[in-house]
Copies of this chain bind each other. A is one copy, B any other.
Amino acid sequence: MSKLVSSIQEAIEKSGLKSGMCISFHHHLRGGDYVLNMVMQAIADMGIRDLTVNASSLFDCHMPLMDHIRNGVVTGLETDYVSGGIGRELSAGILPKPVVFRTHGLRPSDIATGKSHIDVAFLAAPTSDEMGNCTGKCGPSACGSLGYAMADAMYADKTVIITDNLVPYPLEKQSITEDYVDYVVKVDSIGDPKGIVSGTTRMPKDPVALRIAAYAAKAIEASGLLKDGFSFQTGAGGASLAAASYLKDIMLKKGIKGSFALGGITGYLVEMMESGCFEYLQDVQCFDLKAVDSINRDPRHIEISALHYAGPTAKSTAAQALDVVVLGATQMDVNFNVNVHTNSSGYIMGGSGGHTDVAACAKMTMIVAPLSRARMSLVVDRVNCISTPGSSVDVLVTQYGVTVNPARTDLLERFKEWKLPVYDIHELKEIADGLNGMPDPNPNRGDRVVAEVLDRDGSILDRIYQVL
């Protein structure tokens, strides 16, 4: 008995996929992923139509999916994040139904509870045996953690593993186990390693980003949370990475031994663990080659599922153990609501990912962003899209200093004690308006809803409208 089938087409046939069903993909191969396009082309060639695609994220390498939408092969889209090229098409309204945006935590919760039913999951696996025990930790297309693929594997009616590195049974590192896998397909290549390992982890030289990072690190120090046992998450954006770098200096200087760093893991966080800043990394997704190498060899670098990371239906999550998270924003409004779904022109160019989840969970949620970008103000009266509610956001750090959610008087006092420059959110908005002029909110907004953004409880948090 083997689950090996000779082609993606054969796997599709055997899976029983029919028009009208829902299929899923994960995004661990990021901008280098070949699998989604290969599977969708085979499906289109077979004449299957009217599918819903549930992909944990979509990148511009997935632009061929837009043609499948135009041709009616795909009529529903559910995702947690899309990159700019895809977003522009979705904002133009190519899909008849609204896109459903979830968070990285809500997605596995909805899959596990059956609210989001997946008929067939097509899961890229950098290494697999012929029974479907598989991992992302090694292989020519290694991507590290498979955290976002685990719920799909466990709860889809049929699970197809697609690999370019078939190894003898049993695979030693079993991130997904055979008891959940129906078919295994060997292909020449599941992805382009250069695209899998994105270049997002370069440290910035931009003086504005460095200034923001310095304020952010000082604010973390001032918060009282930076002590032995400290836990931390940050993104791979420039200011976030630079903030981690300043934080590292403080931790090493003061001899602070943190507990863990969480999330999408970068090589920089690996360095912090290796230099003693953290005991462990809890990794739902690897952002770069150094992270991939680390999770493959260092048992302190722990692979976790998306449910374990931040699922709202989980009994508890790693996110709930977070002290501080540093996140980005495209817009923020005077009520501290954050937009990471659309740009200031209203075009979709992102998504929550884990933003909303960890913001809701961490003891201190800090947004780092320059006050304006390309003459567009960060701070507005009302964000074009609420991605993360203001009630989850504690601090905004810009190049001017810190701005504190009025609900966090405790932090305000600490920051003043530490002589950090403190600005009221309205003051900050005035400064930004003075620099950029009053922005026209949603300049080309149409009337049709092109996307619904779900909050962590599954309710609709906001709607995104067509851009005309």
Contacts and interface: CB of A to CB of B under 8 A. Distances in A.
Interface of A: 1, 3, 131-132, 159, 168-170, 172-174, 177-182, 229, 259-260, 279-280, 282, 299-300, 302, 304-305, 307-308, 311, 314-318, 320-321
A318 B133 CA distance: 10
Contacts of A174: 302, 304
Contact of A280 (B132, B172, B177, B307): B172
Nearest to A310: B179
A169 B315 CA distance: 15
A3 B173 CA distance: 30
28 contacts: A1-B320, A159-B315, A168-B229, A168-B259, A169-B259, A169-B260, A169-B321, A170-B280, A170-B302, A170-B321, A172-B299, A172-B302, A173-B299, A174-B302, A174-B304, A177-B304, A177-B305, A177-B308, A178-B315, A178-B316, A178-B318, A179-B308, A179-B311, A179-B316, A179-B317, A180-B315, A181-B316, A182-B315
Contacts of A280: 170, 172
Contacts of A182: 315
State the number of copies, please: 2
Contact of A181 (B1, B279, B315, B321): B315
Nearest to A299: B172
A320 B260 CA distance: 39
Given A168-B279, A172-B299, A179-B316, 11 more contacts: A1-B316, A131-B321, A159-B315, A169-B260, A170-B260, A170-B302, A174-B304, A177-B304, A178-B314, A178-B315, A178-B318
